[in-house]
Chains A and B, each alone.
Chain A
Amino acid sequence: MSETCDVLVIGAGPAGTEAALSAAGCGLRVVLADEAPSAGGQVYRAPPDTFSGLPATPESRIGDALRRRLAESTVDTHFGHIVWSVSPDLRVDALAKEGPVSWSARKIIVATGAQERVVPFPGWTLPGIIGLAGATILLKSQRMLPGRSTLVAGQGPLLLAVAAGILKAGGTVAGVVDLSSRSEWLAQSPAFLTRPDLAARGAGWLARLHGTRVPFFYRHAIRRAVKRDENEIEVTIGPVDRSGCSIAGKERIFTVDAVAVGNGLVASTDVTRLLRAEHTFDEARGGWIPRIDADFRTSIAGLYTVGDGTGIAGAAAAALNGRLAGLVAARDLGALTGEAYEEKSAPLRRSAKRALGFGGAMAGLMALRPGQIKSIAEDAVVCRCEDVTRRDIDLAFADGARSANQLKAWTRCGMGPCQGRICGDIASALLAQTTGEHPRSGMFTGRTPFRPLPLTQLLEPVDYSELNLPPPAPL
């Protein structure tokens, strides 16, 4: 099946859905594709169909409204579709349960968001240890606790959200281990005040945690985790300095059955990296991000990108920028006059700028610090798909590996099923720290497929005579 459309949007989180809605609102034929079963992305994720009667939350209200507007629009939605290839001629290939699909579009808007990062420590791949974002999904959409007793660790606002969510759902929080200091949080308070609603929620979470006497360890990080018996994980934490580097001081041991740990978010840039769009390195905004102009245009003709995939700024900024990106595409396609565009976009631009202030402060607290990379233990697994440790990476460096791609070839780091999505930014940070040059070490080259492609879904067994074989190689 192959179809054409005016605008194809990849990713139905707040940025992608709003982009699709605003482009469709200008009369364009818009296709919206996502691998999830419905719109909302991670923050506004819909609970499974079989769940009903759940109490409403601020996120569920926004998500439901978004999904309602989408259902009432002319946007042609394709959920459960895994996009696996995007070509420079703006063709998109996806895989659905029913088989392969391809679209060609006049413009593509990439809104693939972010994924979470865990700075590796020995034991981080044990069962029972999950990411903060993963824990959020469990709590929010599945109403599940990570475990009976959970240690919550890492950095950034998700720490508080997850710890408070566990308490609310009836679980126990063994402790909150925060890389940041109290004063670093306070330093962000002017930014918090731009979003009094969110600041109030954060304060509420903190009050609840303190009320139940959950111990807080500021300027601390997990050093290692060991499996004790079937359901018990022994986690050691210790103090760190401002840069996140482990320092001498009292270590504490927790025995829990679950750990939720996360060190911020990394922009998802599979599509822009595949197409060799220009990227820049920006630690405060999630690492390697595509270079875009004020109108979300990448360096590839017809390719726009918006939302957390362009640098971490949060769901509110993503939604506003998404609406703008849809309008820009409509203007560039002639579906909107310059005048009409100005009128519609001006208020959005102002709100987006405000949202960016808050999101930027959050992203700052989630940014990777140099000491965190320095402190990664020699025996910590960096690439969990291929079991590549920090020691393996150091040895490759000693043998002369200077770029992320050379490291990949020499160690298999990033060559497994996740294709470097989990280890890529840590691996290149490790190299960069040793070489002292981030841009030189670079990032893993983008490759298709973006997700593993099951052969059975990709193709039916065919009769041999139907295969279109090229002419033979020379004898």
Chain B
Amino acid sequence: MMSKNPSQIFDIAVVGAGAMGATAALHLARSGMRVALIDRGEICREASGVNAGTLTLHMTRAALIPYAMKGRELWLDAPNWLGMDVGARSAPGLSLAFTAAEREMLEKRAQARAAMGAPIRLITPAEALRIEPGLNPSLIAAAYCELDGHVTAYMTGRAYRKALVAANVTILENASVSEIEPDGGHYTILHEDGGRTTTKRLVLAGGVWLETMLAWLGLSVPIKCLINQLAVTERMRPVMQTVVGIANGLLSLKQFENGSVLIGGGWQGIGDPIRGGVETIPENLIGNVQLARHAIPALGDTRILRIWLGLESETADAMPIIGPLSGFDDAYVIGGVHSGYTSAPYMGRLLADRILGREPEMPLFDPARLIKNPEEIA
């Protein structure tokens, strides 16, 4: 697919239509730029549309807590800035410990996050059971955070699409990119079907695909690809009101308004960035579901309807890569945010501010620290 008018030069092209790329594109367009948003698939159909939708501070890296708190506010406020409710709801979050070792881990992790501003405090099992009567009473400790919640991730694509169309963004879906040529102050984006898009500025917003995207510019940045398995139950009676996890971060459990319960927590399946999620691992499903049922015993009454896989990216230091690419004029990258869904709309806005020449409210994350072979820059 190519842009409708091949001679058109965009002010900026964003490659990767996940929540970060789409948010950046939206703010840039609203500030008057002519924007193209390009994806090999459809808007928010990869990680941004198939993740567990947890808005969690319990699972956010401590250093990213201030960003996640801002991002969470933006999701809850989506009707105002995005134009559509995406099912974002505030709910308290609980992180549970069932063993002495987990209690120790819970205390350490809660303290580190509280130090960064997350309102996380330790509570007794009795208090936890008052807040969430559905919990397994055998817990020995819990961490409580009032500011958690969830988003219905599959709805975000529709909301973004409507907002982007209204902001006059040129949306190029199913438009795989094969190469990007920087030349004479422009970037020429070559599509696999032979089309091309020309732009003055460039944002690469590709999640697990960032390694490939940065290689288009001759940059080598290793990006680890996690293949998270998620499962959802059929609609059932209300069995929980909170977002429930365990101390080591490998459970995320919530019940949506329609009664279905989503079970996640980073248990892995099989896949890769080229093919996406390919295959679920039955043992990991069983392990994840056993853990879920241990936390909320009433889940024994329901059935698993669907299992799917969502890709998650991680940089070498497990910190984001957001900012301008040195050695290039007006080329930027955004991604690699741990538990990035919570922070996504905020991260996208920060980058848009930077591109628009405004001072971002919080610091970005310099890509230079991760780029291995700067001498290879063309």
Contacts and interface: CB of A to CB of B under 8 A. Distances in A.
Nearest to B260: A415
Contact of B308 (A399, A447, A461, A472): A447
A413 to B, nearest CB: 11
A458 B307 CA distance: 14
Nearest to A398: B162
B333 to A, nearest CB: 21
Interface string A386-411: 00000000001001111101101110
A304 to B, nearest CB: 19
A340 B257 CA distance: 61
Given A449-B307, A459-B293, A470-B250, A87 B279 contact: yes
B286 A417 contact: no
A471 B154 CA distance: 29
A473 B252 CA distance: 12
B49 A85 contact: no
A204 interface: no
Interface stretch (B21-29, B67-75, B298-306, B358-366): B298-306
Interface string B165-177: 1000001010000
B248 interface: yes
B234 A452 contact: yes
B305 A461 contact: no
Interface string B261-300: 0000011100000010011101001110111011001011
Contacts of B301: 455-456
A247 interface: no
Nearest to B314: A474
A87 B281 CA distance: 9
Contact of A472 (B49, B162, B249, B304): B249
Contact of A467 (B155, B278, B291, B297): B291
B45 A405 contact: yes
A43 to B, nearest CB: 29
Interface string A402-446: 110110111000011101000000000000000000000000000
A462 B250 contact: no
Interface in B206-234: 233-234
B125 to A, nearest CB: 14
A100 interface: yes
Contacts of A405: 45
A399 B286 contact: no
A462 B109 CA distance: 26
Contacts of A456: 300-301
Nearest to B299: A455
Interface residues of B, number: 58
B42 A406 contact: yes
Interface residues of A, number: 46
A448 B98 contact: no
A284 B326 CA distance: 58
A1 interface: no
Interface in A138-164: none
Indicate the member of B62, B162, B171, B286 with the most A CB atoms within 10 Å: B286
B138 interface: yes
A459 B318 contact: no
A416 B260 CA distance: 10
B305 A475 contact: no
B372 interface: no
A417 B233 CA distance: 9
A419 B306 contact: yes
Contact of A475 (B62, B154, B165): B62
B61 interface: yes
B42 A472 contact: no
A456 B304 CA distance: 10
B338 interface: yes
A453 B303 contact: yes
A295 interface: no
5 contacts: A400-B165, A419-B305, A453-B304, A461-B300, A472-B105
Given A399-B161, A461-B293, A467-B291, 7 more contacts: A400-B171, A402-B173, A449-B306, A452-B305, A453-B303, A467-B287, A474-B61
